[in-house]
Structure 1
Amino acid sequence: MSVQRVLITGACGVVGTLMRPRLAKPGRVLRLLDVREPEPAADGEAVETITASVTDPDAMAAACEGVDAVIHLGGHSRENTWDETLRVNIHGTQVVLNAAQEAGVPRAILASSNHSVGFRRNDEGGEGGVPADSSPRPDTYYGVSKAAIEALGSLYHSRFGMDVIAIRIGSCFESPLKLGPRGLSTWLSPDDGARLFEACLAAPSPGYRLIWGVSDNTRRVYSLAEAEALGYKSLDNAETYADQLAGQPAPTGPAAEYLGGPFVTAPLGEPNPL
């Protein structure tokens, strides 16, 4: 049986940590890369660990050798200074894609964000939800970096024929409770996240795609059509947590009107806990 090797950058981050056990399966080796040393393999887990930065061309070249696909989660996951955002998120993604292309990796899956379109209104998609390929309207430097990541993915597909799927993730945590009432629309459950990544890994010749990463939540404002076209099927719904959020104040003002929520009024360039 052939073995599939998948490189996951940012493997020690929130999404990487949630995906690691869910993407492990027979016939697959997860090559885990992070600036922090990844945990060693658990019993029955087939992993390779690399401690390195996505901004290091030599490290990324070595990490991409013999890889069948890259899931790029590495980078700052919140607002940061422009210099840091440029260095890690934008430059780091170019380093990853360049290493993957030179190593002949056929597929890259990039973690984008709703913040690449944070200044689009929640209601502009109509009944079907905001289309996944809506043009960028970033809400922060972080959002700009995610729009740039999407553009880099498009470039590497068009120039080199690499299959690239950019996922505009809503919010992926164990539960939507972390984000309060807003999480009832934006949540991507960890299990649905794994289903989505599996669909992205398996879809035949997807070319370049932009899709939303979200569960089929009762209150979602994002279109699932593009992800479903790749074979994704959500089985979770944030509404099961609604009773636990009863009584918490819902967002108001711009945070309630735009996809970026509180990011649309957060100070630019200042690290925030949102």
Structure 2
Amino acid sequence: MRILMTGAAGKVGTLLRPRLAREGRTLRLSDIQPIEPGPGEEWVTADLADPDAVAEAMKGVDAVLHLGGQSREHPWADILRANIEGTQVLMEAAYREGVEHLVLMGSHHAAGYHTRPADGADLPDYAFPRPDTFYGVSKVVMEALGSLYHDRFGMNVTVIRLGTCNEGPVDTRGLATWISADDLTRLVEAGLTADGYHVVWGVSDSPRRWWSLEEAKAIGYVSHDSSEPFAAALIAEQGEPDLNEPLHHRAGGIFTLNELGGKW
């Protein structure tokens, strides 16, 4: 099996590469920043907005893990080219190559202005898009493109509304939004074999989590990790989180603040 991983040079790609290695599996790594492939890996340089380069990278591929594009807020022109045009180019190349399964790395910023439900329930799967940035808008478009290519062409697409993925949560907000690299690998593996179209929250099953995992569980995801072992040290350093503050009350946290500094 050959999996094309775009954006392989980035943080998430670096975390996932060794975890996705399997006997009989080849990871075809793609980015605009060259990296040295390891055992069971291939390298190809491709700008996502270059249809010819992406079509070449797609040849002989069985599945796609799409991590590429601008990973943070940028001017609209940059977001448009890398994240929106780039995702459409990728989807079209996958369709023309006959690729049947794609996992697209979306973001919680596609729904950043959603708040904690007043009844204490989880924020639902498929919560209506409420992007908090141009970056978030691009992830909404990613979800829409995945839906289109599934409905029109029958491709199997899973979009992960990714939380925060690091070796451990770096702040008290992360106690609710964190997904371990191992859990993200489990979620990606589930998405690579899931039939249909799915939007799932990318988060570990931690006690402080408030994003639903029902759809992720429905495609076979089982979280093994929790942020709670990090909680005592982070709370001692930063204090107990105020769940009424936008940082903890809104899905997008600080990115829902005007210029990242004051309330809109």
TM-score by length of 2: 0.94
Counterpart residue identity of residue 228, structure 2: E
For the pair 1:210 / 2:202, whether they are aligned, the reply is no
Secondary structure (helix, strand or coil) at the match of 1:247 reads: helix
Name the % identity: 52
Which of 119, 130, 149 pairs up with 2:123?
Answer: 130
Tell me: higher relative CO, structure 1 or 2? Use CA pairs within 8 A at least 6 residues apart: 1
Q: CA deviation at 1:255?
A: 2.1
Q: CA deviation at 1:18?
A: 0.4
Do 2:5 and 2:28's aligned partners in 1 also have CA atoms closer than 8 Å? yes
Secondary structure (helix, strand or coil) at the match of 2:238 reads: coil
Aligned-partner Cα distance in 2 for 1:226–1:125: 20
Count of residue correspondences: 257
Inter-CA distance 98–185: structure 2 relative to 1 (3 Å threshold): same
| Residue of structure 1 equivalent to 2:223 | 234
Do 1:125 and 1:221's aligned partners in 2 also have CA atoms closer than 8 Å? no
Q: CA deviation at 1:124?
A: 5.4
Aligned-partner Cα distance in 1 for 2:18–2:153: 32
Aligned-partner Cα distance in 2 for 1:185–1:256: 8
| Residue of structure 2 equivalent to 1:154 | 147
For the pair 1:110 / 2:104, whether they are aligned, the reply is yes
Do 1:132 and 1:168's aligned partners in 2 also have CA atoms closer than 8 Å? no
Counterpart residue identity of residue 37, structure 1: P
Which of 119, 131, 137 pairs up with 1:144?
Answer: 137
| Residue of structure 2 equivalent to 1:18 | 15
For the pair 1:187 / 2:187, whether they are aligned, the reply is no
**Structure 1 residue runs of 4+, over 6 Å off?**
none
Structure 2: any 5+ residue segments left out of the alignment? none
Q: CA deviation at 1:126?
A: 3.8
Which of 248, 253, 262 pairs up with 1:261?
Answer: 253
For the pair 1:82 / 2:79, whether they are aligned, the reply is no
| Residue of structure 2 equivalent to 1:35 | 32
Structure 1: any 5+ residue segments left out of the alignment? 269-274
Secondary structure (helix, strand or coil) at the match of 1:7 reads: strand
Secondary structure (helix, strand or coil) at the match of 2:132 reads: coil
Which of 162, 175, 195 pairs up with 1:169?
Answer: 162
Aligned-partner Cα distance in 2 for 1:80–1:213: 23
Secondary structure (helix, strand or coil) at the match of 2:159 reads: strand
For the pair 1:244 / 2:233, whether they are aligned, the reply is yes
Q: CA deviation at 1:60?
A: 0.6
Q: CA deviation at 1:56?
A: 1.1
